[in-house]
């Protein structure tokens, strides 16, 4: 159950948090999802919490559909002998599948880590329930809450240096005066887990206020500086003219730009940008800056070809190079092609020099080609 280590922090939110805003449309949830993605946090999702939330969604959807069906039936009864009204059928299975696929909150999958059900034996859980130790309550109920605690415990054991933030509105069973309940901490300590490794919050708003809002404000300010030209440490046109062609050639994008498979293509030059769109700014665990931008420009392609290239794609070659005149031997020509490229650049946190770069999307003659999702705020 080890998880990725290139993260700014691990956060786990209880099922009650999800169910309180199951569609993720609330202000606090919106800030939270943006913070996880832009500040490179990892959202831990225990399978027990996922299953609880999906079941809750099923119940809510079923209730809504039942109300809808009853309402349509009453309307049909009310209209009497009028022509029958056709109401659309609701595909509840499709709706649930879409929700399941997007859970949690459509956060990028690279920022989510699913934690399996714990391996704790039934006897251990039963003894804790009989003893009514937290998170079990005075009636001995709290099985699912105990599975969450056991999942967190196994996460700590498997990830010895990791710290975790736990957000729950279930204050009665998990917390005591805003801190993790002493009986739960005692159980963690018996497994060698330092209590300082877990921090608790009673709602998403409190967590956002401490960890996300100040840093998101800084990133928004930096993004605005890029867009207005106030940020001058990174000169996009200098980078485009000096380094972009190397990136495109090293990753074999020239053929994609040309739009003809197996054609000998090489980016010989990149002209200054015709249009630049600064799409997002994110913070990496190293505190370096991940800058996402889209550039429209002319690239000069060096194309080497012969008659066989025309035989493979005559229409494409005519569009790119022109119609052949008579016998065609081996030729080389240089052709300017306008394209739009979506890029992600890692900038040094102090100097803003480019430490690494990758192409996320690129417009070819055949349409857009996506290598990986491009971050856009």
pLDDT in tens, 203-225: 999 999 999 999 999 999 999 99
180, 200 contact by CB (below 8 A) = yes
By DSSP bridging, strand 275-283 and strand 289-305 are: antiparallel
| Predicted local confidence at residue 194, as pLDDT | 95
Over the chain, what is the mean pLDDT? 90
**CB neighbours of 304 closer than 8 A, spacing ≥ 6?**
264, 330, 331, 332
Torsion angle of the four alpha carbons 234, 214, 224, 279, in this order, in degrees rounded to the nearest 10: 80
| Predicted local confidence at residue 74, as pLDDT | 79
pLDDT digit string (tens) for 102-116? 999 989 888 999 999
* Structure letter (DSSP) for residue 227: H
pLDDT digit string (tens) for 244-276? 999 999 988 988 888 888 888 899 999 999 999
- Cα separation, 61 vs 147, in Å, equals 26
pLDDT at 81 over 80: no
Helix (H) or strand (E) holding 189: helix 182-189
| Predicted local confidence at residue 44, as pLDDT | 97
Q: pLDDT-derived band of residue 168, with 50, 70 and 90 as boundaries?
A: very high
pLDDT at 346 over 70: yes
By DSSP bridging, strand 198-201 and strand 175-176 are: unpaired
């Amino acid at each position: 159950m080890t998880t990725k280590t290139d993260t700014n922090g691990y956060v786990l939110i209880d099922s009650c948090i999800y169910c309180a805003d199951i569609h993720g449309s609330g202000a606090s949830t919106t800030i939270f999802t943006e913070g996880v993605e832009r500040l490179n946090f990892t959202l831990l999702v225990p399978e027990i919490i996922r299953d609880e939330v999906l079941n809750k969604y099923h119940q809510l959807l079923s209730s809504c559909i039942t109300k809808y069906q009853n309402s349509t039936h009453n309307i049909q009864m009310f209209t009497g002998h009028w022509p029958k009204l056709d109401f659309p059928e609701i595909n509840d299975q499709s709706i649930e599948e879409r929700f399941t696929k997007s859970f949690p909150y459509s956060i990028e999958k690279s920022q989510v880590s699913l934690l399996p059900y714990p391996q704790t034996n039934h006897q251990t859980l039963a003894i804790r329930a009989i003893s009514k130790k937290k998170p079990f309550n005075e009636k001995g109920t709290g099985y699912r809450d105990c599975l969450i605690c056991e999942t967190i415990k196994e996460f700590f054991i498997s990830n010895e240096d990791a710290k975790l933030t736990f957000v729950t509105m279930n204050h009665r069973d998990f917390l005591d005066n805003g801190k993790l309940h002493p009986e739960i901490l005692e159980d963690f300590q018996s497994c060698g887990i330092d209590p300082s490794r877990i921090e608790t919050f009673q709602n998403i708003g409190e967590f956002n206020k401490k960890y996300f809002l100040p840093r998101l404000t800084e990133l928004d300010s930096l993004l605005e500086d890029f867009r207005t030209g106030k940020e001058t440490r990174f000169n996009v046109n200098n980078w485009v003219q000096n380094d972009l062609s190397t990136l495109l050639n090293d990753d074999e994008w020239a053929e994609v730009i040309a739009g003809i498979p197996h054609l000998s293509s090489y980016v010989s030059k990149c002209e200054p940008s015709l249009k630049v769109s600064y799409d997002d700014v994110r913070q990496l665990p190293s505190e370096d800056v991940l800058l996402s931008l889209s550039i429209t420009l002319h690239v000069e392609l060096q194309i080497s070809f012969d008659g066989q290239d025309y035989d493979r794609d005559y229409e494409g070659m005519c569009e790119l190079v022109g119609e052949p005149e008579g016998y065609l031997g081996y030729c080389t020509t240089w052709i300017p092609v306008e394209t739009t490229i979506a890029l992600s650049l890692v900038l040094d946190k102090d100097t803003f020099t480019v430490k690494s770069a990758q192409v996320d999307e690129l417009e070819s003659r055949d349409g857009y080609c996506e290598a990986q999702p491009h971050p856009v705020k």
